Amino acid sequence: MKAILVRIGIDHSYGHWNGPVDPASGEFVYVPIPDTVGKRYHPGHRISYREVVPALEKFSTAFGINDIHFPKQLLHRAMHLDPDFANLTYGDNGKRRGLGITKLSRGDLLVFYAGLRPTTKHTTLMYALVGVYVVENIIHAVDVPPERWDENAHTRWTPISTDDIIVRAVQNRSGRLKVCIPIGEWRNKSYRVRNAVLKKWGGLSVKDGYIQRSARPPEFLKPLKFMRWFKHQRPMLLKRNN
């Protein structure tokens, strides 16, 4: 088995904001990064940030937040909805950032995490797992038939890049976490996986559990050990984005 840890979601570098999380319950809103300015889309396939507003409003009401400070300029931008948990897909560039993902096989794992902003007065972000895919298959984006273009950000574009790949996940074993699982802390001048968690996982292919930013997603050194730990968390997986 192989398993790769993939950072997703809007953050300071991509969108200049972070999705909210309630630290007590672990409930969060999945807010994707912005799509590249100037991208063109197949008719009807552009997804606006306005589509995530209802989820943010529901979250704000549930936790008594008067203003969640969502950047108004993003309301006119398109979201890069990837992964798309409603369709259980994930897209990436198979020749650069996603090169390691192209080597995955059926039954391997993609583990998604995000840097979330706590609703309470925390000075640091909450780095947490937000979703898991068990790989069903991986195909070239250009081979996706038109009737399935709307299932992922990388096939909503026109033209579709010949370098891109699409991961499809196994039903009933994959999805967005109903509540996130905190894994990170601020240590040695950056965000890293907590030492205790890193030990239970069996390590990552990056120095000292570094997860703040990476050119290529790190791999789990002992995926089966991670899976035992993950199942022990009793996760509930949802086939929806929010």
Average of per-residue pLDDT across 124-133 = 97
Share of the chain above pLDDT 70, in %: 100
Cα-trace Rg, the chain: 17
The answer to whether the CB of 22 falls within 8 A of the CB of 60 is no
Domain membership of residue 50 as a residue range: 3-238
Share of the chain above pLDDT 90, in %: 93
Which pLDDT score is estimated for 121?
A: 78
Check whether 214 has a pLDDT greater than 80: no
Check whether 109 has a pLDDT greater than 90: yes
The average confidence (pLDDT) of the chain is: 96
Check whether 115 has a pLDDT greater than 90: yes
Average of per-residue pLDDT across 171-193 = 96
Which pLDDT score is estimated for 120?
A: 85
The whole model's pTM is what? 0.97
Q: What is the tally of structural domains in the chain? A: 1
- 135 in the Ramachandran plot: left (φ > 0), alpha (ψ -120 to 50) or beta? beta
Which pLDDT score is estimated for 228?
A: 97
Average of per-residue pLDDT across 5-14 = 95
* Of 110, 89, 96, 100, residue with least CA distance to 161: 96
* Of 164, 193, 179, 230, residue with least CA distance to 1: 230
DSSP bridge partners of 190: 187
Average of per-residue pLDDT across 65-76 = 93
Average of per-residue pLDDT across 100-108 = 97
Average of per-residue pLDDT across 110-135 = 94
Question: Which has the minimum average pLDDT: 134-143, 150-159, 209-218?
Answer: 209-218
